[in-house]
Amino acid sequence: MVGGFNTNIRYRGHIFHVQTEDGGKESPSIITLLYSGGAILFSKKTSCANQVTNADREVVVRQLMEAQHSAMVQALKSGKLDDKLGLVSPDAPAAEFGAGVITRRSLDEVVLAHLANR
């Protein structure tokens, strides 16, 4: 089993933790988890079953782990995970006032719809 990688990243006012682990020969996979406040927000799992019998397994798996860990860190820093994490891009246009709230229905129709859904 290859030792794992851990990186803390401050991004958009939050501290995220990226952890990558080798599942070993019993569970041949590389798992990268993105945490915030102890909660798993995003994960990536890659099989490395084809490396179980490889004599250079540890070297190859370490390289795969480094690549996957680095890709997760870069995806976070570049904003590629913002939508999945519920983070708003500072470049995103502001929503129009009342978007999703303003309706063409009358007040009576809105109240009746609300009461019907109770």
pLDDT of residue 101: 65
- Report the Cα 20 to chain-centroid distance in Å: 13
pLDDT of residue 16: 95
Q: What is the mean pLDDT of each run of 10 residues along the chain (118 residues)?
A: 87 92 88 94 90 81 93 93 78 63 77 83
Question: In sequence order, what are the residues at sequence separation of 6 or more whose Cβ sits closer than 8 angstroms to the Cβ of residue 43?
Answer: 31, 32, 33, 34
pLDDT of residue 69: 95
pLDDT of residue 93: 64
Give this prediction's pTM.
Answer: 0.70
Residue 32 pairs in a beta bridge with 20, 44
pLDDT of residue 32: 96
